[in-house]
Amino acid sequence: MINLYEINKAALSKLLADWGEPGFRTEQMWKWLYVQRAASFEAMTNLPMNLRQRFANEATLGQLQMVSEQNSLDGTVKRLYKLPDGQFIEAVLMLYDDERRTACISTQAGCAMGCVFCATGQMGFARHLTADEIFEQAMLFARDLEAEGDRLSNVVLMGMGEPFHNYDESLRAIRRLMDDLGIGARHITVSTVGLVPQIRQFAGEGLQAKLAISLHAATDNERSALLPINKRWPLRELMAACRYYVEKTGRRVTFEWALIRGENDTPEQAHALGKLLKGLLCHVNLIPLNPTTGYIGGPSAGDTANAFIAALAEYSVSATVRVRRGIDIDAGCGQLKAKVIRSRITKGK
């Protein structure tokens, strides 16, 4: 079966020509795929019945199989998808009062980074996703929103996996989001735990996409305990890469900081962070820690976040608290974890 979300316009044109169809069919079909975003071949009403039937027999609109969908009290939607080889991934759609519709998509099945408070990191690594598998997660949300008279406005590569560990496919997916879904680069964010060579490479891509870095601690000892990658790329090298990125692109870096009660939400940590970031064009996203079964830490309480923000302001570092979404369905930052990551097929059974 031909997955139409995996072929470009030239390949679609060749396919239709091989089927003996006139040239204008390519444009018609492309519009059904990426403008009208039809969910079925039957809906493509200006195509001849015999062509629609042939597509139904020989092609598919995507290859992700939705296993389950959960809906949060705040409107967040989380989907569990099965991949063709039996692996599982999760994707999330967040709805905001300002009419933003943000898809949080995965770039790997599992994750090799091992961040201790992240459910995906706790489950281990299965495999990289292809650019088409990454793209399709956003495409399906965009298609469903279109059917409701709404539109997907933002995409964040913050789901399962480390995008820069799967650099080439993640970048290909970003370009498809821009070209085929019409998502502006400034409405796309890629998040990394701090892979220094890839941060430097990303600076030279010429993209306006946003860069977010999971920081979570301001000293090497404390950060290495939370994010093992820090032992390979310590803060000195990470911050040098961030400064290079800002100098090269003129764009602001966002640092993500999970506020863990009694661990990294103290005044001492806030001042250490302020000193680390002083003078850098950046913003800090404070995220009260979301619960996972594999980590005993809890979210900061009371006015701790406000005190943290005030301390950072002394160093002219801006910070805000991110609105937590989908916590009741384990759809928040760090909570994505497919129940099963390897099928009988991958185990050779």
* Among 296, 293, 299, 292, residue whose Cα is nearest residue 259: 299
Active site annotation includes 21: no
Q: Which two tokens stand for residue 223?
A: 């950060």
Q: How far apart are CA 330 and CA 36, in angstroms?
A: 32
Q: Which residue has the tokens 């200006």?
A: 46
Give SS3 for 330. coil
The β-bridge relationship of strands 253-259 and 210-214 is: parallel
Q: How far apart are CA 217 and CA 291, in angstroms?
A: 18
Calculate the CA dihedral of residues 165, 78, 298, 154 and round it to 10 degrees. 60
Active site annotation includes 27: no
Q: Which residues contact 202 (CB under 8 A, 6 or more apart)?
A: 164, 190, 211, 245
* Among 165, 96, 113, 166, residue whose Cα is nearest residue 135: 166
Q: How far apart are CA 158 and CA 39, in angstroms?
A: 26
Spacing of C-alpha 15 from chain mean position: 32
Q: Which two tokens stand for residue 262?
A: 């009694």
First-to-final CA distance of the chain: 24
Catalytic residue chosen out of the listed positions 90, 133, 136, 169:
90
Spacing of C-alpha 144 from chain mean position: 18
CB 16, CB 26: distance < 8 Å:
yes
Return the active site residues. Answer: 90, 333
